[in-house]
Chains A and B, each alone.
Chain A
Amino acid sequence: MSLRTLEELKASGELRTSSKLEAILKMGHLAVTSECGPPRGSDPKAVTEKAELIKNHVDAINTTDNQTAVTRMCSLAACIHVKQMGLEPVLQMVTRDRNRIALQSDLLGAASFNINTMLCLSGDHQSFGDCKQGQNVHDLDSMQLIQTVRRMRDDGKFLGGDDIKRPPNIFVGAAANPFADPFEIRVPRLAKKIACGAEFIQTQCIYNLDKFEEWMRRVRERGLHEKVFIMAGMTPMKSAGMAKYMKNRVPGMDVPDEIIARLSGVPKDKQAEEGINICVEAIQRLKEVEGVAGFHIMAIEWEEKVPEIVERSGLYPRPQV
């Protein structure tokens, strides 16, 4: 896609929301997002300090929603802190903890702070977290949440059918895991999310580049890359130990043995650096894949490395919108 200016884009009438991420993707830039995991406490600095580290190198910042089912500061509050810094937050919402009343209500709350971008997820099962004995809700699933947001935004209607005064103005994203099983429905599943109204995708962390490229080939075969912006998920490995843990313990993660071998092949004090090298090389390779619209860099509790990854990957400076 050739680059367009914001003025050209605005004139084209293709912008649906005021989301900065939407504008950058539709202008034709490779977008860069990252994330701030909210703290297990109420100190806003835990969010703002992370955001400060990455703010000049990313277009938008996801705030995760009780990730791995561990109780944390809520995603919406973290988004508000990010927004108040003049940055662009991406509200992550999982369907595990809230029913349709709470989800719609939080969407309006987010919209009232002009939070314009969100990501719809089902959420890790609570048995992974700190409230194993708790209920899960799953009144809606992630696809139905996408539909809900689109209905609220595009039709100005609640699920119950009533009109919304000042509907939310939100660019809607979803996750995709190109590596989970069964592989044969990974692309149909993406098609389903697009049919529900997903406008951008942030993928699961990619380590198996061959398999990701095969998935992208099938995505292109169906023309889905022209219907949704696919942002490739990247997480740098800090050590060989982390790589082994991700391979063996994290559901839906595909870490090839070569990655573990490469990290194990350097001294312990150099493994982090090697992890960054692997991540940068992967981004450089995937930048060339048709249909990859950007990168979502999830440097978990390692936010200070995001600027280096972005710069070395040739994704800096970020476009000004």
Chain B
Amino acid sequence: MIIASKKPIEEIIQEVKDYKRLLILGCNECVTVCEAGGKKEVEVLASTLRMHFIKEGNEKKIEERTLERQCDHEYLEEIRGIVDNYDAILSLACGVGVQFTAEKYHSTPLLPGVNTCFLGANEQRGMWTERCQACGSCILARTGGICPISRCAKRVMNGPCGGSSKGKCEINKELDCAWQLIIDRLRDLGRLDDYEIVAPIKDWSTERAGGPRKVVREDVQV
């Protein structure tokens, strides 16, 4: 899923301070699971902002709403009737949701309330870690199911580099060396000989480098 983290409250206050009527818009998908932008976080943020502005003598109308998804036309339509009641929307969705909402409601200022971080998993309670950089051309079959692009600090395709030490990465002793993980898994799978297959020069055109991407599925289009 998409992992996001809350923006510092000072930054949010700075962004919203000039708007009198504010809608805080949560999303019931990834940001709910990673506890950054679901209904609960919308409530907490709304209360915090209300209190802050009352204390400042700058009371605002701050209302809450959480949609099933902000990356979907269907759910975004649910707020069409109320959008004009607000001077701005503070969206707690990922960057996709913020932009999709902005595209739909062109004349309403849209502000992000979270930082969108990466594609990751919930490794343990309160901790999410990166697993994928959406390179558009998956190589996991060749790397023991562990991605060197998202998990190696140098995205080395033929690793490990010389900085792997006791299973950890040179940039941070807390960080697992992706190539150590790959080698351990290949060994456990009885496929350590595969290590010596040279990974070819990667075609990065399916990644960010190739420009904004699009997936078209004619078979499911209506």
A residues within 8 A CB of B180? Answer: 181-182
B198 x A143 contact (CB < 8 A): yes
A134 and B155 CA atoms in complex are apart in Å by: 15
* Inter-subunit contact B164/A143 (CB<8 Å): no
Complex partner residue of B162 from A144, A184, A204, CB under 8 angstroms: A204
- Chain A 116-130, CB-CB to B under 8 Å as 1, else 0, gives 000000111101100
A125 close to B171 (CB less than 8 A) = yes
In Å, the complex CA distance between A204 and B196 comes to 21
Judge whether B63 is part of the interface by a CB distance below 8 angstroms.
no
How many B residues face the partner with a CB closer than 8 A? 28
Say yes or no for A307: interface residue by CB 8 A criterion: no
Q: Which residues of B contact A139 (CB under 8 A)?
A: 204
Give min CB distance, A295 to chain B, whole Å: 19
B162-202: contact bitstring with A at CB < 8 Å (1 yes, 0 no)? 11111100110000010010011000000000011011110
On whether the beta carbons of A125 and B170 are closer than 8 Å, the reply is yes
- Residues on B with C-beta less than 8 A from A142 are 156, 158, 161
- The answer to whether A252 and B198 have CB atoms under 8 Å apart is no
Contacts of B196 in A (CB 8 A): 188, 191-192, 195
Q: Interface majority SS on B: helix, strand, loop or mixed?
A: loop
* Distance of B179 from chain A, by nearest CB (Å): 8
Alpha-carbon distance between A195 and B199 when the two chains are bound, in angstroms: 12
| Given A122-B154, A148-B201, A185-B183, also A180-B163 (CB < 8 A) | yes
Interface: A57 (CB within 8 A): no
Contact A136 B154 (CB under 8 A): yes
Asked whether any CB of chain B lies closer than 8 Å to the CB of A242, the reply is no
User: Contact at B159–A125, with CB atoms within 8 Å?
Assistant: no
**Could you tell me the distance between the alpha carbons of A305 and B163 in the complex, rounded to whole angstroms?**
28
| Interface contact B154-A141, CB-CB below 8 Å | yes
Interface residues of B in 99-137 (CB under 8 A from A): none
User: Chain A nearest CB: distance from B74 CB in Å?
Assistant: 37
A24-63: which have CB < 8 Å to B?
none
| Inter-chain contacts of B165 with A (CB < 8 A) | 180-181, 251-252
Does B160 count as interface, using CB distance less than 8 angstroms?
A: yes
A123 to B162: give the CA distance in the assembly, Å.
Answer: 9
- Closest residue on chain B to residue A136 by CB atoms: B154
**Would B198 and A138 count as touching, CB distance under 8 A?**
no
Complex Cα gap A11–B38 (Å): 76
The chain A residue with its CB closest to the CB of B158 is A143
B12 within 8 A of A: no
- Is there an interface contact between B201 and A147, defined as CB atoms closer than 8 Å? yes
- Contact in complex: A144, B201 (CB < 8 Å): yes
Pick the contact of A192: B158, B184, B201 (CB < 8 A): B158
Q: State whether A127 touches B158 (Cβ < 8 A).
A: no
CB neighbors of B among A123-169 (8 A): 123-125, 127-128, 136, 138-144, 147-148, 159
Nearest CB of chain A from residue B194's CB, rounded to whole Å? 10
Q: Smallest CB–CB gap between B197 and chain A, Å?
A: 9
Q: Tell me, yes or no, whether A80 is within 8 Å of chain B by CB.
A: no
Is B162 within 8 A of A125, CB to CB? no
At the interface, yes or no: B157 with Cβ under 8 Å from chain A? yes
Residue in A closest to B166 when the chains form the complex, CB atoms: A181
Residues of A within 8 A of B200 (CB): 144
Give A194 Cβ to nearest chain B Cβ, in Å.
Answer: 10
In the complex the two chains form, is A251's CB within 8 Å of B198's CB? no
Structural contact, A251 and B158, CB atoms closer than 8 A: no
Q: Does A225 contact B (CB under 8 A)?
A: no
B198 adjacent to A196 (CB under 8 Å): yes
Residues of chain A from 94 to 136 with CB closer than 8 A to chain B in the complex: 96, 100, 122-125, 127-128, 136
Contact among A124, A141, A180 for B156, CB-based, below 8 A: A141
* A235 in contact (CB, < 8 A): no
Given contacts A125-B154, A141-B158, contact A252 B201 (CB under 8 A): no
Cβ-defined contact, B164 with A96, below 8 A: no
CB distance A122 to B156 under 8 Å? yes
8 A-B pairs whose Cβ atoms sit less than 8 Å apart in the complex: A122-B161, A123-B154, A128-B171, A141-B158, A142-B156, A144-B199, A192-B196, A251-B165
Residues of B within 8 A of A (CB): 153-167, 170-171, 177, 180, 183-184, 195-196, 198-201, 204
10 A-B pairs with least C-beta separation: A251-B170, A177-B162, A251-B163, A143-B158, A252-B162, A141-B156, A144-B201, A180-B162, A125-B171, A138-B155
